[in-house]
Amino acid sequence: MPASPLRSAVIAVTAVLAGAILAPSPALAAENSGGFTIQERISDCNFNLDWPHDSHHDPGHANSNAVIKCDSPKKYLGLQVRLLERTGGGHLAQVGYGEYVNNSGTGRTISKAATSDSCHSESQYVAEASFLVVEQNDNRIDPDHKTPLVSVSC
Protein backbone atom coordinates (compact mmCIF):
# COMPACT_ATOMS: atom_id res chain seq x y z
CA MET A 1 0.00 0.00 0.00
CA PRO A 2 1.57 3.35 -1.00
CA ALA A 3 2.19 5.92 1.72
CA SER A 4 -0.29 8.76 2.00
CA PRO A 5 0.93 12.24 0.98
CA LEU A 6 0.65 13.38 4.61
CA ARG A 7 2.72 10.42 5.87
CA SER A 8 5.35 11.08 3.16
CA ALA A 9 5.52 14.75 4.16
CA VAL A 10 5.91 13.86 7.86
CA ILE A 11 8.71 11.40 7.02
CA ALA A 12 10.49 14.00 4.85
CA VAL A 13 10.27 16.71 7.54
CA THR A 14 11.49 14.25 10.19
CA ALA A 15 14.48 13.30 8.00
CA VAL A 16 15.34 16.97 7.43
CA LEU A 17 15.11 17.74 11.15
CA ALA A 18 17.21 14.70 12.06
CA GLY A 19 19.85 15.74 9.54
CA ALA A 20 19.96 19.27 10.88
CA ILE A 21 20.42 17.99 14.44
CA LEU A 22 23.10 15.42 13.53
CA ALA A 23 25.28 17.60 11.31
CA PRO A 24 27.37 20.36 12.85
CA SER A 25 27.69 21.81 9.35
CA PRO A 26 24.88 24.11 8.13
CA ALA A 27 24.24 21.62 5.33
CA LEU A 28 21.93 18.61 5.48
CA ALA A 29 23.11 15.13 6.47
CA ALA A 30 21.67 12.51 4.14
CA GLU A 31 22.10 8.76 4.04
CA ASN A 32 23.51 7.19 0.89
CA SER A 33 24.71 3.70 0.00
CA GLY A 34 28.06 4.26 1.73
CA GLY A 35 26.75 5.84 4.93
CA PHE A 36 26.01 9.48 5.68
CA THR A 37 27.04 12.48 3.60
CA ILE A 38 26.76 16.19 4.32
CA GLN A 39 25.06 17.71 1.28
CA GLU A 40 24.48 21.31 0.32
CA ARG A 41 23.29 22.92 -2.91
CA ILE A 42 24.27 26.51 -3.69
CA SER A 43 23.57 28.08 -7.08
CA ASP A 44 23.82 25.15 -9.52
CA CYS A 45 26.45 23.24 -7.51
CA ASN A 46 26.22 20.35 -5.06
CA PHE A 47 28.80 20.17 -2.28
CA ASN A 48 29.16 16.78 -0.55
CA LEU A 49 31.35 15.48 2.28
CA ASP A 50 31.19 11.82 3.32
CA TRP A 51 31.23 11.03 7.01
CA PRO A 52 34.45 9.17 7.89
CA HIS A 53 34.19 5.46 7.07
CA ASP A 54 36.25 2.35 6.29
CA SER A 55 37.58 2.96 2.79
CA HIS A 56 35.82 1.06 0.00
CA HIS A 57 38.89 1.45 -2.26
CA ASP A 58 41.60 0.82 0.35
CA PRO A 59 40.20 -1.46 3.09
CA GLY A 60 41.82 -1.05 6.49
CA HIS A 61 42.08 2.71 6.06
CA ALA A 62 39.60 5.36 7.18
CA ASN A 63 38.67 8.06 4.69
CA SER A 64 36.27 10.81 3.76
CA ASN A 65 35.57 12.01 0.23
CA ALA A 66 34.67 15.58 -0.75
CA VAL A 67 32.89 16.31 -4.05
CA ILE A 68 31.75 19.36 -6.00
CA LYS A 69 29.30 18.78 -8.86
CA CYS A 70 28.00 21.74 -10.86
CA ASP A 71 25.47 21.89 -13.68
CA SER A 72 27.41 24.52 -15.66
CA PRO A 73 31.15 25.09 -16.30
CA LYS A 74 32.99 27.12 -13.67
CA LYS A 75 36.06 29.34 -13.89
CA TYR A 76 37.59 27.63 -10.84
CA LEU A 77 36.81 24.60 -8.66
CA GLY A 78 38.87 23.82 -5.59
CA LEU A 79 38.59 21.78 -2.42
CA GLN A 80 40.61 20.75 0.60
CA VAL A 81 39.56 17.82 2.77
CA ARG A 82 41.07 16.82 6.11
CA LEU A 83 40.59 13.67 8.17
CA LEU A 84 41.18 14.05 11.92
CA GLU A 85 41.46 11.20 14.43
CA ARG A 86 40.68 11.57 18.12
CA THR A 87 43.78 10.78 20.15
CA GLY A 88 44.02 9.17 23.59
CA GLY A 89 44.11 12.63 25.18
CA GLY A 90 40.91 13.66 23.41
CA HIS A 91 42.67 15.94 20.92
CA LEU A 92 42.14 15.75 17.17
CA ALA A 93 45.20 14.94 15.06
CA GLN A 94 45.25 15.22 11.27
CA VAL A 95 45.77 11.76 9.76
CA GLY A 96 44.72 12.44 6.16
CA TYR A 97 44.65 15.32 3.70
CA GLY A 98 43.55 15.83 0.11
CA GLU A 99 43.49 18.86 -2.16
CA TYR A 100 42.33 19.29 -5.75
CA VAL A 101 42.00 22.28 -8.10
CA ASN A 102 40.55 22.66 -11.59
CA ASN A 103 41.15 26.12 -13.04
CA SER A 104 40.57 25.18 -16.69
CA GLY A 105 37.50 27.42 -16.94
CA THR A 106 35.38 24.46 -18.06
CA GLY A 107 35.27 22.36 -14.88
CA ARG A 108 32.01 20.96 -13.57
CA THR A 109 33.05 18.20 -11.13
CA ILE A 110 35.97 17.49 -8.81
CA SER A 111 36.49 14.93 -6.07
CA LYS A 112 39.23 14.14 -3.57
CA ALA A 113 39.56 11.86 -0.55
CA ALA A 114 41.52 12.25 2.67
CA THR A 115 42.73 8.79 3.72
CA SER A 116 44.46 7.67 6.92
CA ASP A 117 47.64 5.58 6.83
CA SER A 118 45.87 2.95 8.91
CA CYS A 119 42.65 2.50 10.83
CA HIS A 120 42.32 1.12 14.32
CA SER A 121 39.06 -0.60 15.15
CA GLU A 122 36.56 1.78 16.76
CA SER A 123 38.77 4.84 16.22
CA GLN A 124 36.89 8.13 16.16
CA TYR A 125 37.23 10.56 13.26
CA VAL A 126 36.02 13.96 12.06
CA ALA A 127 36.19 15.16 8.45
CA GLU A 128 36.38 18.81 7.36
CA ALA A 129 36.19 20.26 3.87
CA SER A 130 36.65 23.73 2.43
CA PHE A 131 35.18 24.27 -1.02
CA LEU A 132 35.65 27.13 -3.49
CA VAL A 133 33.79 27.69 -6.76
CA VAL A 134 34.33 30.76 -8.91
CA GLU A 135 31.55 31.38 -11.40
CA GLN A 136 32.23 32.67 -14.92
CA ASN A 137 31.12 36.14 -13.69
CA ASP A 138 33.68 35.92 -10.80
CA ASN A 139 31.07 35.35 -8.05
CA ARG A 140 32.53 33.14 -5.34
CA ILE A 141 30.87 30.27 -3.48
CA ASP A 142 32.91 28.97 -0.54
CA PRO A 143 31.08 26.73 1.93
CA ASP A 144 32.81 24.73 4.67
CA HIS A 145 31.53 21.37 5.93
CA LYS A 146 32.39 19.44 9.09
CA THR A 147 31.10 16.03 10.12
CA PRO A 148 30.36 14.99 13.67
CA LEU A 149 32.84 12.77 15.54
CA VAL A 150 32.06 9.22 14.38
CA SER A 151 33.42 5.76 15.23
CA VAL A 152 34.84 3.78 12.32
CA SER A 153 35.19 -0.01 12.37
CA CYS A 154 37.94 -1.16 10.04
Q: What is the pLDDT of residues 72-106, one digit of tens each?
A: 999 999 999 999 999 888 899 999 999 999 999 99
Q: Residue 60: CB partners within 8 Å, gap ≥ 6? A: 54, 118, 119, 154
pLDDT of residue 27: 58
The pLDDT of residue 103 is 95
Reduced to 3 states, what is the DSSP secondary structure of residue 54?
A: strand
Q: Residue 82 and residue 101: Cα distance in Å, rounded? A: 15
Q: What is the pLDDT of residue 137?
A: 96
Average pLDDT over residues 49-66: 91
Domains and CATH numbers, the chain: 5-152 (2.60.40)
CA dist 131 and 142 (Å) reads 5
